[in-house]
Amino acid sequence: MTARAAQVRSRLMTDQIALITGASRGLGAAIALALAPTHHIIAVAKTTGALEELDDRIKALGGAATLAPMDITDPKAMATLCRGVFDRWGCIDLWAHAAIHAAPLAPADHVDAKDLSKSIATNVIATSTLIQYVAPLLGDTGTAVFFDDPRAGEKFFGSYGATKAAQMALVYSWQAEVEKTGPRVVITTPPPMPTATRARFFPGELRDGLSSPDEAAAAILAELPGAAQNA
């Protein structure tokens, strides 16, 4: 943690700070709720109404959130967000990146160019941009959490599988680069969950045997020593 960050943290005496990108639903929302009793949640997503619903649930748990209805593919918006976080808190303790664009399934020779471009912008370019912007806020003691979904090479998963694999290649490189210096970069593969994204991929799937996002969030946070102690 930089001297500036330590000074701001000491002055404000805040709870721990968790930045959740893709916080409006699914696993992102579940992680935000699991951390709400002990972390101030910075919730980022495009859907304002869903963020407001999340805020109500966080308040019901006795927590507090800062809502950031933003598009992560807008680098200026992300720069403004991270600058605002620095000015208010100086640093963050945890970043969970759950934002993803799940392009419709299609054969490789029928991939829609707009869907592929949006997949690249959201899953690859925005992730790279956010790593650059968020890394200084995490310092050497924070934790970044990413969620793998290895679909590369599966039939009909061309856009999603290729861009998700590219995203994780970036993350694995960052993880190796900061292994000795921090921040801690955690990569986990959540269990199948009855989310809207999975429903688009497997519309006729029986959901009784799937893990709930709340269960998955609890298991993921249990792997993080700091979060597990406080969540």
**Domain holding 186: CATH number?**
3.40.50.720
d(C-alpha 195, C-alpha 205), whole Å: 12
* Count of domains for the chain: 1
d(C-alpha 202, C-alpha 189), whole Å: 18
Is 231 within the bounds of a domain?
no
Q: Which two tokens stand for residue 122?
A: 């959201």
pLDDT at site 11: 37
Is 229 within the bounds of a domain?
no
Could you tell me which residues are beta bridge partners of residue 151?
A: none
Is 140 within the bounds of a domain?
yes
pLDDT at site 13: 46
How do residues 19-47 score in pLDDT, each as one tens digit? Answer: 999 999 999 999 999 999 999 999 999 99
pLDDT at site 207: 87
Largest separation between any pair of C-alpha atoms in the chain:
57
Task: Find, among 201, 188, 3, 223, the residue nearest to 91 by Cα.
Answer: 3
Assign 3-class secondary structure to the chain: CCHHHHHHHHHHCCCEEEEEECCCCHHHHHHHHHHCCCEEEEEEECCHHHHHHHHHHHHHCCCCEEEEECCCCCHHHHHHHHHHHHHHHCCCCEEEECCCCCCCCECHHHCCHHHHHHHHHHHHHHHHHHHHHHHHHHCCCCEEEEECCCCCCCCCEHHHHHHHHHHHHHHHHHHHHCCCCCCEEEEECCCCCCCHHHHHHCCCCCCCCCCCHHHHHHHHHHCCHHHHHHC
Q: Which two tokens stand for residue 224?
A: 């993080």
Query: Which residue carries 């002055």 as its tokens?
Result: 11
Is 230 within the bounds of a domain?
no
Is 91 within the bounds of a domain?
yes
- pLDDT tens by residue, the chain, 231 residues: 454 445 444 434 457 999 999 999 999 999 999 999 999 999 999 999 999 999 999 999 999 999 999 999 999 999 999 999 999 999 999 999 999 999 999 999 999 999 999 999 999 999 999 999 999 999 999 999 999 999 999 999 999 999 999 999 999 999 999 999 999 999 999 999 999 889 889 998 888 889 999 999 999 999 886 654 444
Beta-strand relationship, 143-147 and 94-97: parallel
Task: Find, among 205, 206, 225, 194, the residue nearest to 30 by Cα.
Answer: 194
pLDDT at site 200: 87
d(C-alpha 82, C-alpha 76), whole Å: 10
How far CA 78 is from CA of 53, 125, 127, in Å, comes to: 22, 12, 11
Task: Classify the C-alpha dihedral 203-204-207-210 as positive or negative.
Answer: negative
pLDDT at site 9: 47
Please tell me the pTM assigned to this model: 0.91
Which residues span the domain enclosing 12?
3-224
Beta-strand relationship, 94-97 and 39-45: unpaired
